[in-house]
Amino acid sequence: MATGSKDQLLRSRAAVLLGISSLISGQRGRRERGTVEVEGETVGYEVRIVDARTTEQRAQDERRGRPDGNLIVVVPGHAQTVDGPKRLVATATLLSRSKVVWCIDPIPAKGGDRIEAKAIARAVRERISAAFPVTGEAGAGSGLSTKVTLVGWSHGGAEALRAAEEDPALFSQFLGLCPAGLEDRNPLEFVCSFGLAVVCILGKALRGRDWGYLTDALRVGADVLRGLIQDLVRSRSPRRLIEDVRWASEKVSSRTFGYTGEVVLLLGQQDAVIRWRDIFPDCEHPDEIPESLPVFQREHFPHASRVKVAAIEGDHLAPEAEALSFVQLGLGLLDQLDESVSLS
């Protein structure tokens, strides 16, 4: 690479990182609450909306009747609030074509993940209808002016998978970041693997004196603790929290899984919670995953229009702490990456 090109790449990367930090530190976005009715149950939810469009982009979108590219909707991990994946949301906002990201967190419902997934689908559809009303021929046939790239991290990946199957016309793309829902797990083993991963992540940060990584780990951990306490107060039932773990341990994808959109899964090579080797037991190296995709798609996503899977550097925290790598690759594979800020 020529020196000039390398310098330009470094400047671009620095500019992107500065923009991400600005979105995080500036607390960009607004927080809203709402409810939806699902199978006779009123399910509450919280949504954090981050909109980084310029005035010119907003005007163009209003004339077009929709954003340029898909709206990005993020479902955070187990017990996380909408403030948990701050770096993930900020990075997706900056790198996406639409420049609009919603992070949505349903309040625990009596019916569990199945009901919460339906609540996510219904809430997003209702909000899109209000925020981007259909004009002219936009969204013809679906009643929508824009489509959604649904992003799920960890247990949020399992919830997002269920929501995507509920409304594939709305959720045209699914991006799973170290997602649960791809295999059945023993709940106790699942919890233990998560605990071990926490210890390893903290140890790695301390040994390497990576204070930024440690800060992200502690921030996400504090958010999870806060979310668990809030969920306990809302449900007034420790049993409900235990059931959350059971649902997170269940396999969602299957031979009968009905989702028809595009699927991209990004797994962490060092992830001790969602282990890529368990999902692809016949592969000895991540480079062998593409050869296994036909069988994997038939077993997990038989109706999907396209399935891409990659195992990249990172542990279970990486979709947040190293969001740039995960978001750039994921949105790039789904054609939702703003090429003007691409680092490739």
- Higher pLDDT: 334 or 107? It is 334
Report pLDDT digits (tens) over 224-243.
888 778 777 766 567 666 77
Distance CA 331, CA 153 (A): 14
Assess contact for 116 and 123: CB atoms under 8 A.
no
Q: Which residues contact 305 (CB under 8 A, 6 or more apart)?
A: 260, 261, 262
153 beta partners: 177
pLDDT for position 187: 86
Q: What is the pLDDT of residue 140?
A: 44
Which residue type does 284 have? E
Query: Which of 52-90 are b and which e, b meaning 16 or more Cβ less than 10 Å from the residue's Cβ?
Result: bbeeebeeebeeebbbbbbbbbbbbbbbbbbbbbbbbbb
Digit-coded pLDDT (tens) for 243-282: 777 888 899 999 999 999 999 999 999 999 999 999 999 9
Structure tokens that stand for 165 in this block: 């199957």
Question: What pLDDT shows up at residue 27?
Answer: 58
The yes-or-no verdict on residue 83 having pLDDT over 50 is yes
| 9-38: average pLDDT | 80
Per-residue pLDDT, 236: 58
Residue 188 pLDDT: 87
Kindly state the percentage of the chain with pLDDT values over 90.
57
How do residues 194-212 score in pLDDT, each as one tens digit? 887 888 888 887 888 887 8
Q: How confident is the model at residue 11 (pLDDT cuts 50, 70, 90)?
A: low
Name the CATH superfamily for 27-341: Alpha/Beta hydrolase fold, catalytic domain (3.40.50.1820)
Say which residue, 50 or 236, is predicted with more confidence: 50
pLDDT of residue 135: 54
CA 137 – CA 160 distance, rounded (Å): 28
pLDDT for the residue 93: 94
Query: 322-336, pLDDT tens digit by residue?
Result: 999 999 999 999 999
pLDDT tens per residue, range 125-175 = 999 988 887 654 444 445 577 899 999 999 999 999 999 999 999 999 999
- The whole-number pLDDT of residue 161 equals 97
User: Where does the pLDDT of residue 344 fall: very low under 50, low under 70, confident under 90, or very high at 90 and above?
Assistant: low
Q: Judge whether residue 293 has pLDDT over 50.
A: yes
What value does the mean pLDDT of the chain take? 87
Task: Return the H-helix or E-strand segment holding 91.
Answer: helix 86-95
